[in-house]
Amino acid sequence: MLVSKLPDKGTTIFTVMSKLASDHNAINLSQGFPDFQAPAALLERVAHYTSAGFNQYAPMSGVQELKEQIASKVTDLYSRQVLADSEVTVTPGATEALFCAISTIIHPGDEAIIFDPAYDTYEPAITLNGGVTHHINMRYPEFKIDWDMVRDKVNNRTRLIIINTPHNPTGSIWGESDIESLQKIVEGTQICVISDEVYEHIVFDAHTHQSIHSYPELAKRSYIISSFGKTYHTTGWRLGYCIAPQALTSEFQRVHQFVNFSTNTPMQYAVADFLRDCPEHHEELADFYQHKRDLFCGLLAPSRFKLLPSSGTFFQLMEYSAISSMADTDLANHITIKHKVASIPVSIFYRDPPEQKILRFCFAKSDQTLEAAARILNQL
């Protein structure tokens, strides 16, 4: 008889809410994907490489041209020298990279620390590897980390701390003091860090992304994971990457080769060309999405929602206590079915949800889509 390794995990909320939106013909502001096209120049390069016959297996660690462009980008943005041959792995999405990184670190009985509300892929991967997850709630409403609580949780069994900035689902970002606190906690320990930086280019209001790449001592013990899907509006391509020191990368690739041997070949060549020829795309991405955030928030000014600050990502949290006393899971379903706008209930990102009434809306949509959704939400 099969015994589930994840008995308390059902279908992910993103699948549930996107299906509900589709079933009820609702505007889908739940799952984080754009409803507009990727850059035309990038699509042209994909067409070129598929037509030119670049359609077979790519090397396990990634196409060399792309790994070199990734390394060059890291140098340009963070002044860190990365070895393309031995420190970069291209993966079929950031989620696979997260799973492989967690699998290299966590052995049965090892402990990991994550910060709630947390992206829902972290804990299952820890559990599947026999680890124990400790959850620390971020402080509401600014969603900052209490570093004293982190120090109290660390012990001789702690092997991993997972960080995420810019942060999904809250849109908060880390400051230098956060990085310094983390560095002090892990100094002199065997703790590894996984830094989920898939929204690295989407930081607003002239803030600077605090990448672990910029902190050499932390980088020595870290897997740093990012995603082209978020950057190039191509979430369906499932194209991400992981950067780590050679010893960590070697272990990462031991796992990666048996999870998904290689990543989509023509897309890798196309992205390599686009990274080389059009760096202005990721350089201008923050302004592009800040426009959408500001538009969406401005459109919702007449509503009864309380909009919480969003300093990064393409998500907006909205507190709804003036509208309803329903639980966020119930209200999300209700608004989707009756009013035709889908969102994500934030409580699902917690082990122990606090008494908050918050929904997450994705503003990675066309202006027309945001305008249509706002007209509905303003009537609630």
Helix, strand, or coil here: 92?
coil
In sequence order, which residues have a C-beta less than 8 Å from that of residue 83 and are 6 or more positions away?
71, 246
Q: How far is CA 164 from CA 51, 145, 185, in A?
A: 38, 11, 17
pTM for the structure as a whole? 0.97
Residue 33 zone, left/alpha/beta (φ > 0; ψ -120 to 50; rest) = beta
Backbone angles phi, psi at 353, to 5 degrees: -65, 135
103-112 as b/e: b if 16+ CB within 10 A: bbbbeeebbb
31-35 long-range Cβ contacts below 8 angstroms, 24+ apart:
31/344, 31/362, 32/168, 32/230, 32/235, 32/313, 32/314, 32/315, 32/362, 32/364, 33/235, 33/236, 33/362, 33/364, 34/233, 34/235, 34/364, 34/365, 35/364, 35/365, 35/366, 35/369
**What is the side-by-side strand order in the sheet with 132-137?**
88-91, 240-243, 222-227, 192-196, 158-164, 111-116, 132-137
> Which two structure tokens, joined as six digits, stand for 242?
């992981």
| Residue 373 to residue 341: CA distance in whole angstroms | 6
* Pairing between β-strand 306-307 and β-strand 341-342 as defined by DSSP bridges: unpaired
Q: For the chain, what are the domain ranges?
A: 13-31+284-377, 56-279
Peptide bond before residue 141 is cis, with ω within 30 degrees of 0: yes
DSSP summary character for residue 305 = P
| Residue 304 to residue 355: CA distance in whole angstroms | 19
Residue 205 zone, left/alpha/beta (φ > 0; ψ -120 to 50; rest) = left
> Which two structure tokens, joined as six digits, stand for 346?
């934030």
Q: Which CATH architecture has domain 13-31+284-377?
A: Alpha-Beta Complex (3.90)
Residue 280 CB neighbours (<10 A): 8
pLDDT recorded at residue 1: 81
Q: How far is CA 72 from CA 49, 99, 205, 274, 363, in A?
A: 22, 25, 26, 13, 30
Cβ pair 308, 319 in contact under 8 A: yes
pLDDT recorded at residue 358: 98
| Residue 356 to residue 378: CA distance in whole angstroms | 21
> Which two structure tokens, joined as six digits, stand for 214?
């910029």
- Output the tens digit of pLDDT for each of the chain's 380 residues: 889 999 988 899 999 999 999 999 999 999 999 999 999 999 999 999 999 999 999 999 999 999 999 999 999 999 999 999 999 999 999 999 999 999 999 999 999 999 999 999 999 999 999 999 999 999 999 999 999 999 999 999 999 999 999 999 999 999 999 999 999 999 999 999 999 999 999 999 999 999 999 999 999 999 999 999 999 999 999 999 999 999 999 999 999 999 999 999 999 999 999 999 999 999 999 999 999 999 999 999 999 999 999 999 999 999 999 999 999 999 999 999 999 999 999 999 999 999 899 999 999 999 999 999 999 999 99
pLDDT recorded at residue 273: 98
| Residue 278 to residue 45: CA distance in whole angstroms | 12
Cβ pair 370, 292 in contact under 8 A: yes
> Which two structure tokens, joined as six digits, stand for 247?
């010893």
- The answer as to CATH 3.40.50.970 being correct for domain 56-279 is no
